């Protein structure tokens, strides 16, 4: 009898094979342009996928395909779907976690208490969705979920997805603060 992880792994592998077969028929055009924000995702090998919804929390049916960091797959999605939203898969497979600063006013005291004198974490790759800010870090095991801390949330759960640039919600553009910022290790105060 197969366990659930094996079963889900087989489904994901099957979907990835289908994506590869589907894109094999695409004739690449020399003028295909990948946005700088998608180049950031490719540079960091983020597992991303298109989202056919303009919501910061879309229904699972809005996601297209299996998340990928493969340039050919990303180019295929750009060529066939155009300028749609993107999502970033969080967790060990994607090698990334996200600190969401939901409300800066209530988050400042929390971050001051947690980070103490360490401000280096602020140099990591970040993007905004209106008043919210997401700070991305390299994945690390055994992180705490930060439940009960005012104004912040740590996205660590394997397979969860968050919107990522280049995307838009009905109200806000989702954009990087500094497109050339590095992806830093998780700071010690988050461990």
Helices (H), the chain: 4-24, 36-43, 71-81, 104-115
Residue 27 is predicted with a pLDDT of: 60
**pLDDT at residue number 148:** 86
User: What secondary structure letter does DSSP report for 184?
Assistant: B
Phi, psi of 39 (to 5 degrees): -60, -35
Q: How far apart are CA 174 and CA 6, in angstroms?
A: 35
| Helix and strand numbers, DSSP H then E, in the chain | 4, 9
Length of the chain: 191
Give the residue with greater pLDDT, 36 vs 60: 36
pLDDT digits (tens, 9 = 90+) for 62-113: 989 899 999 999 999 999 998 899 999 999 998 999 999 998 888 999 999 9
pLDDT at 61: 87
Give, for 164, the enclosing helix (H) or strand (E): strand 161-164
pLDDT recorded at residue 83: 86
**Both structure tokens of 36:** 């700088």
Are 96 and 179 in contact, with CB atoms under 8 Å apart?
no
| Helices 71-81 and 36-43, packing angle to 10 deg | 150
167 and 174 Cβ atoms separated by less than 8 Å: yes
Give the pLDDT band (50/70/90) at residue 54. confident
Torsion of CA 44, 46, 50, 53, to 10 degrees: -100
Is residue 47 within 8 Å of residue 93, measured between CB atoms? yes
The whole-number pLDDT of residue 182 equals 97
Q: What is the spatial distance between Cα 73 and Cα 20, in angstroms, rounded to a whole number?
A: 8
Q: What pLDDT score was predicted for residue 8?
A: 62
pLDDT at residue number 7: 65
Q: Identify the residue with better confidence: 47 or 60.
A: 47
Q: What is the mean pLDDT of residues 125-129?
A: 96
| 128-143: pLDDT as tens digits | 999 999 999 999 998 8
Q: Which tens digits make up the pLDDT trace of 144-173?
A: 888 889 999 999 998 899 999 999 988 899
| Range in 17-31, 32-46, 96-110 with the lowest mean pLDDT | 17-31
Would you state the pLDDT for residue 191?
A: 82
* Contact (Cβ atoms closer than 8 angstroms) between residue 23 and residue 72: yes
Q: Does pLDDT of 37 surpass 90?
A: yes
């Amino acid at each position: 009898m197969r366990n659930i992880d094996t079963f889900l792994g087989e489904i994901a592998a099957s979907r990835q094979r289908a994506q590869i077969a589907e894109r094999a028929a695409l004739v690449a055009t020399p003028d295909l342009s990948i946005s700088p924000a998608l180049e950031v995702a490719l540079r960091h090998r983020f597992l991303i996928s298109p989202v056919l919804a303009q919501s910061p929390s879309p229904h699972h049916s809005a996601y297209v395909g299996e998340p990928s960091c493969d340039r050919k797959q990303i180019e295929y999605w750009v060529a066939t779907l155009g300028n749609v939203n993107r999502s970033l898969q969080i967790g060990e497979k994607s090698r990334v976690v996200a600190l969401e600063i939901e409300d800066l006013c209530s988050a400042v005291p929390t971050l001051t208490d947690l980070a103490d004198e360490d401000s280096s974490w602020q140099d990591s790759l970040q993007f905004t969705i209106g008043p919210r800010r997401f700070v991305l870090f390299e994945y690390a095991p055994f992180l705490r979920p930060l439940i009960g801390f005012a104004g912040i949330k740590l996205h660590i759960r394997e397979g969860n997805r968050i919107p990522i640039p280049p995307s838009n919600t009905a109200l806000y553009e989702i954009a990087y603060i500094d497109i050339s910022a590095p992806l830093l290790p998780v700071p010690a105060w988050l461990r």
